[in-house]
Amino acid sequence: MIGATSGAIEVALNATTAEHEARDGVRLFNKVHAATPLAMVVAAPSVGLARQAGASSREVLLVIAALVLVSAFLSIDRAGWRTRSTSDSPVRTRSATPILIAFGLVAAVVLFMENAVEQWGAIHLEQDLGAGPLLGSAAPAAYMIGLAGGRLLVQWQGERFSGLTVVVFGSVLGAVGLVLAVITEPAGLPAAVALAGFALAGIGLAPAVPTLLGMAGKSADDERRPAAITTVTTISYLGFLGSPPLVGLLAATWGLTTAFAVVAAGGVLVAAATALLRVPEPEGVAR
């Protein structure tokens, strides 16, 4: 139930963000998505401190539920959600389904890579590189900090480049970061180098999913935009769900270092696939 609720909230937030971008002519997706990794970095130690202070799991969950309810209430858009066409004639659009599926599949590969670092990064540092628990636990945190920083950077300077260019170069940078984490063991480098690689991967992959969602929103007219965002978001979850078992299978067969090498190759796949995308413009849409 928590997973379903979380997914529904994310779809609603993405659809609302896309609507605001179209209605107000602003870029919002990277800024909005920067909040997620920041919240994760803050939440983990906060919950740990609360538990150490004597709070029970039930009390912690009740506080989290209250925060979700309050934030949802404060996020209600009272300005009117959709911008209606001023024309009485029906709106014609090109079929956007193929490009939306493509956006979703590319985003799925990115989330596959992201979840691999979140679930296996600490194990890689401790098991393969001999890092202690403290340094090992910093792997997902370093990635999340890089993720937040990369999205804020693209929000600040990203308008200088097209969305496709941002995704292509970012995914290559993400692959480089993961390669750095992979070669740390065979090169005899300290575990901190792999940690820096995970942070670099976060910076590189940061803008991919929010940028793809932004392009999906722009490729649809006002009526179809929520469905477009839902399509891309739902398909992207396939990568997030498939990552833990697949990386685990690769690690059990060839070792975790090799598994991360396969994950790093995903960045090259994202760059190549994105370079081939052609984003259609909706026809007859009043802005």
For position 133, what pLDDT does the model report? 83
280 within domain boundaries: no
Question: Smallest Cα–Cα separation from 228: which of 76, 102, 78, 72?
Answer: 102
Report the distance separating Cα 102 and Cα 65, nearest Å.
35
CB atoms within 10 A of CB 80: 9
User: What distance in Å separates the CA atoms of residue 44 and residue 9, rounded to the nearest whole number?
Assistant: 20
Decide if 51 is inside a domain: yes
**Tokens 């976060």 appear where?**
202
> Looking at residue 177, which CATH number applies to its domain?
1.20.1250.20
| Confidence at residue 258, expressed as pLDDT on a 0 to 100 scale | 94
Is 168 inside any structural domain?
yes
Q: Is residue 167 part of a domain?
A: yes
Q: Give the C-alpha separation, 103 to 101, whole Å.
A: 5
Could you give the number of structural domains in the chain? 1
The answer to whether 213 and 229 have CB atoms below 8 angstroms apart is yes
- Cβ distance 213 to 15 under 8 Å? no
Give this prediction's pTM: 0.86
CB atoms within 10 A of CB 45: 10
CB 117 within 8 A of CB 139: yes
d(CA 140, CA 40): 10
Q: What is the DSSP letter of 91?
A: P
Q: Scanning the structure block, which residue is given the tokens 């979840």?
A: 115
The answer to the question of residue 90 being in a domain is no
Nearest residue to 260 via CA among 136, 120, 111:
120
Residue pLDDT tens, the chain, 287 long:
777 778 888 888 888 888 888 888 888 899 999 988 988 888 877 887 888 888 888 998 899 889 888 988 887 766 655 544 444 444 444 556 889 999 999 999 999 999 999 999 999 999 888 888 888 888 889 999 999 999 999 999 888 888 899 999 999 999 999 999 999 999 999 999 999 999 999 999 999 999 999 999 888 888 888 899 999 999 999 999 999 999 999 999 999 999 999 999 999 999 999 999 887 665 544 33
Task: Determine, yes or no, domain membership for 284.
Answer: no
Is residue 88 in a domain? no
Find the domain containing 125 and state its range. Answer: 2-79+95-275
283 domain residue, yes or no: no
